[in-house]
Structure 1
C-alpha cells in the first residue's frame, strides 16, 4: 500500500535487515542504498504489490493512478502523459526530475521522460518526493522528484512472466521478462511490444522496447554491473482542434499525414563499494536518441531530424557514523553531464550543447530514537555552459550560468503515531536548448529560474490507516515559460514576472479489513503572478483542485480495483490576462479492473474512462489548440508467471 515514509530506524537495525534480504535494499533520498524506512522525509511510496493489483501496464500510469499525480494526455499518442507536481502547467516535466535506479532521466529538451519503455514487471517501488530537491538532484527539481527503483533478484532465485493484452482501438501488448540469480551474479532481461490506434484519427502508436542487465556482487552492498535499455517508437500526430471542431467530433484530425518517430538507446555502468568505513558509489550513463517528425503545411511536407547524445557521471561517497550517540549520515558527491544535439531541417541546422558540473554536500542527523527525530541540511553549486549556433537563422549564443541550492529538513514524532515534518530551501532550473532557441531578445539565452521553497506537514499512521497533510509554497523568480504575448509573431519563451505556487495536499488510506482497502489524494494549488502587469492573475493550465480515490478488494484468487479522478476547471494555455470568455471544463473519469488467478495464470478485464466522458487536459489557445483525451476503452489480458 502507499505509505508516507516518515520513520527512521537505528543504523544497526537497518544493516541487519539488509543482511537478511538484499531484495529490500532501495536507493533513497541520499542517493545511496538503504533500508526502506530511511526513504526521504515525507515521500509517498508505491509498492510492486499495488502496481500489480491496479493492473497498470506502464510506470507513468502507476504514478498517476496510484500515486495521485495529475497527468495530461500526451500530444503524440504515447502513454507518456505529462506529469504535473504542484501545478507547473505546460512546463511541469521541466520542473520535476525523474530518476531510475539513481540515474537521472530528465534532460535538456522539451520532452517528457520516456517511462513507457521501463518494464513494469521490473519495478520494485516508486518514490514520489514532492517539493524542492535541487541539492541532490540539481536542475529542475523545484516541484519534486520521482525515483523509480527496479528489482534486484535475490541470491539463487529466478522469476519470469509472459503478459499479453488486447482491447478496443486495436490495442495490443506483449511482454516477456525473466531474471536469474546465482552465487555472486544476477541477470535479467525484458522485451515488449505494444500498439494502438488510440482514440483519435491519425493517432496510431507503436513501441518496441528491450531492457537487460547483469551485476556482480560480493555482499549486500559491494556490487558492480551494467544495464542497457532501448526503445523504438512510431507515432501518428493527430494535432489540435478548436472548440467547434471538438464539439462536432473530438475524434477527428485536421493533420491526417503528420507523423514522427523516436529511437532511444541507453547504457549505464554502475558500482558501489565499502572502503575504510565509507560507502563509495558511481554511475556512468550514455544515451543516444533520434527524433524525427514530418508535418504537412498546405500539402507540402516539412521534415526534421534531431540527433542527441548525453553523458552522465555521478561519483559520490557516504559516511555513516555517530555524534554523541546520535546516528549521522554525511553524503558528498559530484554530478557531471554533457548533452549535445544536431538538427537537420529545412528551417534549421542548429547545433546545441550543454555541459554542467556540480558539487553537493548533505548531512542528516537522527536523534531522540523514541521520537524518531531527523534533521538534515544540504548545499549544492552547479555551473552550466551552453553553446548554440544555427547558420540558417543567423543565430548563436554562448552562455554560462552558476547556480546555488540549499535545503533544511526536519521531522519529529511528538506523539505516538503522529509525525510533524518541514522543509525550507532554494531550487533552480535552466532553460532547455529548445527554449533558448526562441526568445524575445535574439541570440540571448534566458536567465535561470530560481525558487524559494517551503513546506510543513503532519502525518498520522497506525496499522490500519495513514493520513498525511502538507501545506507548501514556491516563490519563483524568472520562471521560464512560453508567453504568447512576448512578441508580435506568435509569442516566445521568456522569463516571467515573479510567480507563486502555494497550496495544500492530503494523502489518506484506510485498511478496512483483510480484503478491502481505500486510498485517496487531494491537491489544492493556487498558481498566480505575484508582481508585474498580470499581478494576481492565475497561471494557465493549472487546475485549482484535483482529487483521486481508489477502492481495492482482494479475495481468494481474485482481486478488484476501482478508481476515480476529478479535475477542476483551468485556464486555457494562452490566457495570461485571464480574459478568455471561458475556461477548460472540469471532468471526472472512472477506471476499474477485475482479475482472477488459476494457478500460475492470471486473467483480467480492465476499463479506462468507463463513462466515456468527452474531456481534454491540453488546450493552448482561448477555446482552441485542444487535444482531446481518450474515450472509453476495455481490455482483456492474461499473465503467466514462472
Structure 2
C-alpha cells in the first residue's frame, strides 16, 4: 500500500546537485502533482538551494531578483510589497495573484498585500509560480496565477547570521522518524534604516520577529495528523514620497512637500491542523483548517484594524497510473473591525480537477463554483451583497520525448472585489459607502514549449488574456469601479544553461502589453504601472567546489506612472536597474557569504503621479554572514 504518510518529506529527495545536472522538477504544490516537463501550465520552480544561493534578506527580494515576478514596496512599506506578473499592473497586480503557504491561502480581504516578510527565506523548501492558472485549486483572485510556498520539513539543522544594512539571525531545526516529523524555525531582523524621515535626522527603522512550529504524527500506517503554529511581530517606519527634484537631488532625504513618515505595528498569529487518511492504495481524504488573528496599528494615525480569518479545505484524492482526480470543498471566513465598522467577506466553493495521462499525452480539466458574500455594519448602515462565480481550467501537454514537450491551456478565472473597494476613506478619517461593484472575470490562453537537457533548461510561452470588469481605483473620481473591457498579451522566456563546469547562466525575460479596450476616455490607453520588458539575468562562476561568484542584473523598462490612466502625466515611471554581486565559500557544514546590492548606486523609484515618487533600492547596500549546518 502506498503509505509513506509523511508527504512533506517527499520533496527533499529532489534537491540533488542542481549545479551539476538539470532535470525536470516535480510540481508539488498544485492539487495534482506532476513534473514540469509534462505540465499543462507555464511554471517556475525554485528550490531551497536556489533561494540559499541568492542570499536574499526576504522573499520579496528573491522574487524581484530571480523570478518573473515584480515586487515593489507598497507606498514605501518594504514589509508589505505589491507584486505583479502577466501585466496586471503594480497598483493591483497583487490582488490577481493567489499566494499560499503550505497550502493555506494568505491573501487579505482588503487592499493590504500578503505579508511575505513574515516568511524567513531560510525556512523555504520550494517556491512555485503557476501562471494564468490555479483558479480551480486556489480560487478567488487567481487571474495572473498563483505563488505557492512550501516550507522545510526535513532533518536539517542550521543557523544563519548576517549583518550590514540589516542585522538578521535565523535558525531551522528538523527531526523525523517513522512516526513523527517536527520542524521549528525563527528569525529576528533589525535595521537602523537608510532613508531620513524628518528634519531631526531620524531614519526609517524596522524590526521583525517571526517563528513557526510544525508537527506530523502517524499513529497508524494509514493516518497522518498535522498541526502547526506561527507568529510574526513587525514594527517599521517608512518615509513618504518625494518630488522629482528631491528624488534627483538625494533619494535618502525625507522630503518637504509630503505628509511625513508612517509608523506601523503589525502582529499576526496562526494555528492550523489537519489529517490525511488513506482509504486504499489509490484513495485518500485530506482535511485542513486554520485560524489567523491579525492586528494592524498605524501609530502615526491612531488607526487600528483587527482581522480574524478562518479557513478550511476538505478533498478526496484519487490517483492511479493514468488518472488523478481531486474533488473537495474550500471555505473561508474573513472579518475586519476598523474605522468604527465591521466588514466581512466569506467564500464557499466546491471544486473538481482531473489529470489524464496516457503515453505521451496529458490532459487537465477542472471546474470550481464559488459563492462570495459580503456584510457591512456600522452605527447607521447594515449592507449585504453576494456573487456566484465559476472558474474552469482545460490544458493539454504532448511530451515528444524525455527532453521536449508542448502545452496549451485555457482558464476562466475571477476576482471578487476586496472589502475596501466598497468604501471611500475621506481625509477627515470618515468612511463613506462607495457602492458594490462587479467581480472581475478573465479568459486566459497560453501556448508553451519546454526543452530540458542535463545542461540546459529552456521554457517559452505565449499568452493572451481577455478581461471583463477589471477592478481599479479611478484617479479622477477617487472611487473604485470597473474597466468595461481590457486585454493583455505577452511572451515569457526562461533559460538556465550550464555552460561549463565553472560557468552557468540563468535568464528570465518577460514581454507584456496591457491595453484598456473600453472605459470612457481611457479607451485604447495602456494600463499604467506595466513595464513592457522585464529582464533578470544571473551569471555564476564556480572556480572550484567551494567558491561561487554570482553577478545578477535586473532591468525593467519605463512605464506610465501608477495613476496615469490617461497616459498624459509629465513624468513616467523610470526604468528600474540594479546590479548585484555575491560571493560564497562553502566548506563542509560552514558557508560564508557576502553580497552587494545595487553595486553601481543606481536610483530607483515607484512613480504614483507627477512629483509623487517613492524611492526603492536607491543606494548601494552590503551584507556578509555565515550559515552553519549542525
Q: Do the two structures share a fold, i.e. TM-score over 0.5?
A: yes
Secondary structure, in 3 states, of the residue corresponding to 1:504? strand
Deviations 1:437-491 (A, max 9, x none): 2399945211111111111111222111121111111111111111111x2xxx1
Aligned to 1:288: 293
1:313 alignment partner in structure 2 = 312
Q: Shift of the alpha carbon at 1:599?
A: 3.8
Corresponding residue of 1:472 = 463
1:164 aligned residue: 161
Pairwise CA distance, 1:130: 0.8
> Is the aligned partner of 1:86 residue 2:86?
yes
Q: 1:421 maps to what in 2?
A: 407
Give the drift of 1:35. Answer: 7.5
Does the aligned pair in 2 maintain the 1:27–1:101 contact within 8 Å? no
Match of 1:516 among 488, 503, 506: 503
SS of 2:242 mapped into structure 1 = coil
In structure 2, distance between residues paired with 1:258 and 1:242: 18
Q: Distance in 1 between matches of 2:147 and 2:491?
A: 19
What displacement does 1:318 show? 1.3
Q: Relative contact order: is structure 1 or structure 2 higher (C-alpha 8 Å, sep ≥ 6)? A: 2
SS of match in other structure, 1:116: helix
**How far off is 1:598 after superposition?**
4.0
Pair 92,101 (structure 1): closer, same or farther in 2 beyond 3 Å: same
Q: Spell out the pairing of 1:219-230 with structure 2 (5 A cutoff).
A: 222-230=223-231
Q: 1:293 to 1:577 in 2, by over 3 A?
A: same
Measure, in 2, the Cα distance between the counterparts of 1:75 and 1:515.
41
Q: For residue 498 of structure 1, give the secondary structure of its aligned residue in structure 2.
A: strand
The alignment's C-alpha RMSD in Å is 2.7
Q: Distance in 1 between matches of 2:572 and 2:485?
A: 23
Give 1:540 shift: 0.7
> Is the contact between residue 458 and residue 496 of structure 2 (CA under 8 Å) also seen in structure 1?
yes
**2:468 matched to 1:482?**
no
Give yes or no for the alignment of 1:507 onto 2:498: no
For residues 179-578 of structure 1, the aligned pairs below 5 Å read: 179-202=174-197, 203-217=204-218, 222-254=223-255, 255-256=259-260, 258-276=262-280, 277-295=282-300, 302-321=301-320, 327-343=322-338, 348-368=339-359, 371=360, 373-391=361-379, 396-414=382-400, 417-438=403-424, 442=433, 444-485=435-476, 487=477, 491-533=478-520, 534-554=522-542, 555-578=544-567
Question: Structure 1 regions of 5+ residues with no counterpart?
Answer: 1-10, 296-301
Secondary structure of the corresponding residue to residue 247 of structure 1: helix
CA contact (8 A) 1:76 1:236 kept: no
Hey, what does 2:100 align to over in structure 1?
99
Q: Count residues with an aligned counterpart.
A: 601
Kindly provide the CA deviation profile for residues 191-233 of structure 1, in whole angstroms up to 9, marking residues without a partner as x.
2110113331232111011111211136898422111110000
Q: Contact 2:354–2:366 (CA<8 Å) still a contact in 1?
A: yes
Deviations along 1:127-184, one digit per CA (max 9) or x if unpaired, are 111113211111110001111112222xxxx43112111113xx20111221112331
Deviates more, 1:238-247 or 1:304-313: 238-247
Task: Determine if contact 2:604/2:615 at 8 Å carries over to the other structure.
Answer: no
* Corresponding residue of 2:130: 129
Corresponding residue number in structure 2 for 1:147: 148
Quick check: 256-265 or 307-316, which moved more?
A: 256-265
Match of 1:178 in 2: 173
Separation in 2, partners of 1:452, 1:236: 40
Q: Secondary structure at the match of 1:469?
A: strand
Aligned to 2:523, the other structure's residue is in SS state coil
Check the 8 A contact 2:9/2:153 in 1, yes or no: no
Shift of 1:60: 2.6
Q: Deviations over 1:376-398 (max 9, x none)?
A: 1111100011011233xx55521
Q: Deviations over 1:276-324 (max 9, x none)?
A: 34121111010000001034xxxxxx310000000000000111246xx
Deviation at 1:623, TM superposition (A): 3.8
8 Å contact from structure 1 (residues 18, 24) kept in 2: no
Q: Is the 8 A contact 1:469 1:504 kept in 2?
A: yes
How far did residue 502 of structure 1 move? Answer: 1.1
Distance verdict in 2 for CA 1:120–1:442, change over 3 Å: closer
How big is the shift at 1:582? Answer: 3.4
